[in-house]
């Protein structure tokens, strides 16, 4: 566990025009091991272009405040948490993520 990603949580507030605004705030900065997984079908078409897809997995110590509604900031890239896998010994969580907007 050598990486330091930031887990962020969304909060809802009202904008000056009365619309709902989603903002993100730091929930925690944690130590993590990072693993890149190629998807079985790792190419898809988006907007007529072939795009390679990769999952990234952050293994962190088990926490009770992390859900799939959170996101990860690692480096300068944001990742949506797609699923959470708890290890059999209940000590770690694997946060399976995909990059946002790539």
d(CA 46, CA 57): 23
* Contact predicate 6/31, CB 8 Å: no
* pLDDT (tens place) for every residue of the chain, 102 residues total: 999 999 999 998 888 888 888 899 999 999 999 998 876 554 555 555 655 567 899 999 999 999 999 999 999 999 999 999 999 999 999 999 998 875
Q: Return the domain boundaries, the chain.
A: 20-99
pTM of the model: 0.81
Q: What sign does the dihedral 74-101-92-66 (CA atoms) show? A: positive
| pLDDT for 42 | 46
With b for 16 or more beta-carbon neighbours within 10 A and e for fewer, the 63-97 pattern comes to eeebeeebbbbbeeebbebeebeeeeeeebbbbbb
| pLDDT for 18 | 84
Nearest to 1 by CA among 39, 29, 41: 29
């Amino acid at each position: 566990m050598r990486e330091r990603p930031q887990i962020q949580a969304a909060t809802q507030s009202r904008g000056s025009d009365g619309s709902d605004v989603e903002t993100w705030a730091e929930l925690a900065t944690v130590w993590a091991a990072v693993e890149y997984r190629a998807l079985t079908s790792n190419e898809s078409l988006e907007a007529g272009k072939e795009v390679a897809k990769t999952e990234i997995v952050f293994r962190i110590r088990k926490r009770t405040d992390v859900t799939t509604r959170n996101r990860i900031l690692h480096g300068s890239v944001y990742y949506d948490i797609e699923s959470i896998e708890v290890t059999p010994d209940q000590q770690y969580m694997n946060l399976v993520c995909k990059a946002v907007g790539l």
